[in-house]
Amino acid sequence: MAPHANGDSNGSVAAAPAHNGSDLFVVNSPNVAYSEDVIKSTYTYQSTKVTKTADAKYVAQPVETKYDFKVERKVGKVGLMLVGWGGNNGSTVTAGIIANRRGLTWESREGIKKSNYFGSVVMASTIKLGNDAETGEEIFIPLHDILPMVHPNDLVLGGWDINSMNLADAMDRAGVLEPDLKRQVREEMKQFQPLPSIYYPDFIAANQEGRANNLLSGSKQEHLEKIRKDIRDFKQTNSLDKVVVLWTANTERYAELIPGVNDTSDNLLSAIKSGHDEVSPSTIFAVASILEGVPFVNGSPQNTLVPGAIQLAEQHKAFIGGDDFKSGQTKMKSALVDFLVNAGIKLTSIASFNFLGNNDGLNLNAPQQFRSKEISKSNVVDDMVAANTILYEKDEHPDHTVVIKYMPAVGDHKRAMDEYYGEIFMGGHQSISMTNICEDSLLASPLIIDLAVLAELMTRISWKAASTQEGVSTKEYKGFHSVLSILSYMLKAPCTPPGTPVINSLYKQRAAMTNIFRACVGLAPESDMTLEHKLFA
C-alpha cells in the first residue's frame, strides 16, 4: 500500500514514487525484444483496400504493413493538474485516490465498503492474453498490466478553480461521498487549495458568478503566461517527469469559429495576444499545455480544440484529446445503438431526457451551455448509422432529441431516461425504454483517471513503418498523431486527426485501444473466432 498523501507548498497532492510497469508476463517471440529501458516489437498490420470498378462493383485487396513499435518502460513520476479541481469531479477524484492509497474502508447503509477503482477501464477491466497451452482456457490479465502504466495511487494532483474553497469543503459541497469516508480523508483534503483560474463570464452561465472568487487578473495573454508558469512550477516543485492537464470545469458555450481568429495556430496566438472575445478559458488552458509540451484533455462538450489549437499541437508535437466525458447515458447509447443497427433493426428515433441537480446541471440550465452538451450527445450514433446502407439511405438519420433539466433535489444522482424506437420485420415496430440512475461524479471520476493514465502512456510509445507491400519504410521512430483518438472510449464527442473518420461505436473504440497495446508487445489482435475449438482433423 502506498503511503499517505502529503501536502506541499503549492497545494498539490503528493504521492509515492511511480511504479515502472508489471512483470506479469513476457512475450516469447523473435518479433519482441526487451531491454531494461524499452520494449521493441515488430507487428504485421493487416487491412483491406477497396476500389470501385466502372460497373459499380468492389474489388477488395488484402494489404500488409509491418510496423516497429517502441515503448519506454520507465514510467517516472507523473502529475495530473485538473481545471475545476474544486468541482464535484475534482474533489471526488482526489478523495478517491487518497482513499485507495490508504486502503480505506468506511461504513455505509449497505454495510462496509472498501476503496476501489471500479468504473476505470484501465484499473478494473481485463484483456485477453491468449489461451492456456494445455487446457485451451482463455487467460485474462488486468488491462493495466499489458504495458507499463502509471498507477493512479502514484499520481501527484493539483489544479485550478474559479472558487477558492479548499478541497475538504468542496467535497462537502459536492455531496457525492459517504460521510464516514469524508471524515477519514478530511484532514488531508483541507490542505489542498486550488490555484486561481480564468473566468470569462460570457462563456459560462451567469448562475456561476457567485462561485467566482479565485480569479486571475490581467489580459488573456497574461493568463496564458500565468497558466504556463503554473504548469512549470508544479512540475518543478514536485520533481515530476511528466504532467497531464485535464479540463473538468464547467461546460462553456461554443466559441464561434472565425477566419483570422481561431482557424490557424498563428491566428489563435494573435487572438490571445489581442484579447479577442471568442477565445475561451478552456482554449487558453489547451494552448498553455501545448506550449509547455504536456498532454491536454478536454472533458467538457465545448469546442475547446478549435482548428488553431489542433494545428498548434501538431506543430509542437504535443498531445491533445477531447471532448466530453462519456460516462452513463451516452455510453449506454453508443453500445445499444451499435447492437440494434448490427442486428438489422432500423432505429428511427431516440428521445433522451436528463435530470440532474449538481452544479453541472445548474450551469447547463443556460441555453448556450446546454447547446454544447446537446451537440456532444446527439452525434454519438452517426458512424453506426452510416455503416448500414441497407437500413438507411444516404443522409437518412434517426430523429434524435436530447433534453436536460436542472432538478436540485436529485443532486449528483442523475436521472437519464431514453426511448429507442425502431422498425422491425414486415413493418413492425420495437420500443425500448431505459432508465439510468447514476451517481454522475462516481462515473466520471474513473474516466479522468483513465484519460490521464493513457495520455501519459502515449508519450512513451513510438513507431515506424518497417515495410509495406510497396517497399516503403521509415528510418526514425515517431509518436502518434497529436490528436489522441485512442482516448475515444472515454469521450462522447471523440476528437480525431483532421480528415480521419470519427468512431463512436463502443466496441470498436475499445478494440482499437486494446489491440494497439497488444501490437506494442507483438501480439495479434484479440480474435473471437476460436478456430482452435471449431476445427477438427
Of 148, 177, 118, 207, the residue nearest 446 (C-alpha): 118
Predicted pLDDT at 276: 97
Predicted pLDDT at 356: 78
212, three cell numbers:
467566482
User: Which listed residue (77, 346, 373, 377) is catalytic?
Assistant: 373
Active site residue 324: yes
Predicted pLDDT at 205: 82
Look up residue 232 and give its amino acid.
R
Active site residue 478: no
Q: Which helix (H) or strand (E) holds 100?
A: helix 88-102
CATH number of the domain to which 362 belongs? 3.30.360.10
Residue 333 lies in a domain: yes
* Residue 61 backbone phi and psi in degrees, to 5: -125, 115
Into how many domains does the chain fold?
Answer: 1
What is the Cα–Cα distance from 393 to 38, expressed in whole angstroms? 49
Q: Which helix (H) or strand (E) holds 296?
A: strand 296-298
Residue 193 lies in a domain: no
Residue 373 lies in a domain: yes
Predicted pLDDT at 7: 40
What is the Cα–Cα distance from 34 to 27, expressed in whole angstroms? 9
Residue 287 lies in a domain: no
What is the Cα–Cα distance from 310 to 316, expressed in whole angstroms? 10
Of 172, 212, 218, 230, the residue nearest 84 (C-alpha): 212
Residue 392 lies in a domain: yes
Transcribe 20-87 into DSSP letters. Answer: ----S----STTEEE-SSEEEEEEEEEEEEEEE-TTS-EEEEEEEEEEEEEEE-----EEEEEETTTS
Active site residue 373: yes
User: Which listed residue (323, 414, 440, 450) is catalytic?
Assistant: 414
Residue 405, strand partner residues: 355
Report the greatest alpha carbon distance in the chain: 77
What is the Cα–Cα distance from 420 to 333, expressed in whole angstroms? 9
Cell 453508443 appears where? 334
Residue 342 lies in a domain: yes
Asked whether the beta carbons of 449 and 93 are under 8 A apart, the reply is: yes
User: Which listed residue (182, 235, 326, 492) is catalytic?
Assistant: 492
Alpha carbon of residue 470 to chain centroid: 36
3-state secondary structure of 224: helix
Residue 447 lies in a domain: no
Q: What burial class does residue 507 get, using C-beta atoms within 10 Å of its C-beta: 0-12 exposed, 13-18 middle, 19+ buried?
A: middle
Transcribe 410-453 into DSSP letters. Answer: GTTEEEEEEEEEEE-GGG-EEEEEEEEEEEHHHHHHHHHHHHHH
Predicted pLDDT at 536: 58
What is the Cα–Cα distance from 40 to 62, expressed in whole angstroms? 26
Domain that includes residue 383, residue range? 329-440
Residue 391 lies in a domain: yes
Of 256, 493, 281, 262, the residue nearest 374 (C-alpha): 493
Cell 474513473 appears where? 446
Residue ranges of the chain with pLDDT lower than 50?
Answer: 1-11, 15-21
Active site residue 266: no
User: Which listed residue (154, 324, 360, 412) is catalytic?
Assistant: 324
Kindly state the DSSP code that residue 493 receives in the 8-state scheme. S
Asked whether the beta carbons of 73 and 21 are under 8 A apart, the reply is: yes
Predicted pLDDT at 382: 83
- 428-469 confidence digits (pLDDT tens): 999 999 988 888 899 999 999 999 999 999 999 999 988 655
